[in-house]
Chain A
């Protein structure tokens, strides 16, 4: 069965370190998204991609970057982790022309 996975599921890191969160989907979807979820804010869009070599900034992109070298993967990098980036991160994907997004299980990141 097609799926979307994230790794690691839990991560503790220190302020200033570079961290990369992985997202892999086997749906063959062109659209991929990264969100962070914090209490009281719902899901906020960090970056999104409509296909290979395409990346776009979302509403809270500062301090984050993504790259899309193939259809299946959209890794999210925190260049220099800050305590304000402690959050739960969700990756999602959708097919071209489809509004239904499929979410991964999430990564809980703690920055100390």
Chain B
């Protein structure tokens, strides 16, 4: 089957760095996306990794290792507004996307 596994919850302190891991098992794999979703809101796109390595966008970075079927989202200088759910999503071909169950991030003061 196809699946993406990520931790259900992560807690971190304001100003700290947090890493959200994602491991995947898919029959076809073309890249890994990350989305953020605040309670009651719609998912919003954060990043996409098609190739191995680190992609940096401001305070957020995303990493992919195809050989390990693994990726992570790194959030730096955490702010209270970063409290949200974060989803990794695998592109399995033709922009068809399979999502993980999501990681709920709690940022504490």
A interface residues, Cβ below 8 angstroms from B: 31, 33, 35, 40-45, 48, 50, 56, 58-59, 90, 92, 94, 98-106
Scan residues 72-109 of chain B and give those whose CB is less than 8 A from a CB of chain A: 87, 89, 91, 94-102
- Contact between chains at A106 and B33 (CB < 8 Å): no
Q: How far is the CB of B57 from chain A (nearest CB, A)?
A: 12
Using CB atoms, name the residue of chain B closest to A48: B96
A99 and B99 contact, Cβ closer than 8 Å, known pairs A42-B87, A43-B43, A104-B42: no
A99, B45: Cα distance in complex, Å: 9
Looking at chain A's contact residues, the main secondary structure is strand
Instruction: Check if B48 is an interface residue, CB within 8 A of chain A.
Output: yes
Q: Does B71 contact A (CB under 8 A)?
A: no
Query: How far in angstroms is the closest Cβ of chain B from A103?
Result: 4
Chain B interface extent, by class? 20 to 34
Q: B92 to nearest A CB, angstroms?
A: 10
Tell which of A40, A45, A101 has the most Cβ of chain B within 10 Å.
A101
25 contacts between A and B (CB under 8 A): A33-B97, A35-B99, A41-B101, A42-B99, A43-B87, A43-B89, A45-B96, A45-B97, A45-B98, A45-B99, A56-B96, A90-B43, A94-B95, A98-B95, A99-B48, A99-B50, A99-B91, A99-B95, A100-B45, A101-B43, A101-B45, A102-B45, A103-B42, A104-B42, A106-B42
3-41 of chain B: CB within 8 A of chain A:
31, 33, 41
Distance (Å) between the CB of A94 and the closest chain B CB? Answer: 6
Q: Is B44 an interface residue (CB 8 A)?
A: yes
B89: which A residues are within 8 A, CB to CB? 43
Chain B residue numbers with a CB within 8 Å of A92 are 43
Q: Give Cα distance in the complex from A75 to B107, angstroms.
A: 38
A33–B2 CA distance with the chains assembled, in angstroms: 18
User: Contacts of A43 on B, CB cut-off 8 Å?
Assistant: 43, 87, 89, 99
- Chain A nearest CB from B45 CB (Å) reads 4
Contacts of B48 on A, CB cut-off 8 Å? Answer: 99-100
Q: Give the residue name and chain of the B residue nearest to A104 (CB).
A: B42
